[in-house]
Amino acid sequence: MRAQTAFEFMVIIIFVLAFIIPIWIYLYQMQVETNDQFVLSYAKNTVTQIAKKADLVYSQRMGARVKIEVYIPRGVQYVNITGSEINMHVLSSSGPIDVFATSIAQMQGSLPAEEGLYQILIKSEGDYVNVTLA
């Protein structure tokens, strides 16, 4: 009698685990995908905001400057500012992704790849726009 009760209890536990484990795996995958979407959204917002402000100061010519606050998300390997493009190389769960924005202005400068909130100075130098930490 005791063995039958223990066996029935074990069968119930197996059925419960067989139901819960796939749900847990699905929820975990959804969480990873959502985190990746947030990171990529932050990265796209950052590069777009910098490119738009670079266009603004470039159109105002020499001496124009603007200071903006941007968030660099986790997973950024590097930020490359060359020519009229700003490129953020981001690691996601599906592999590396390049997030970029273009500007009418030629840009130069550097930004950190560490996660955080940064003050960025975007300054027109005449023929180009300089993008640096403020």
Determine the Cα angle at 32 with ends 29 and 33, to 5°.
Answer: 85
Domain boundaries, the chain: 2-133
Selection from 109, 108, 126, 124 nearest residue 66 by Cα: 124
Decide if 129 contacts 122 (C-beta within 8 A).
Answer: yes
Per-residue pLDDT 10s for the chain (134 aa) are: 677 888 888 999 999 999 999 999 999 999 989 999 999 999 999 999 999 999 999 999 888 999 999 999 999 999 999 999 999 999 988 899 999 999 999 999 999 999 999 999 999 998 999 999 98
- Claim: this prediction has a pTM higher than 0.85: no
CA dist., res. 87 & res. 23, Å (int): 37
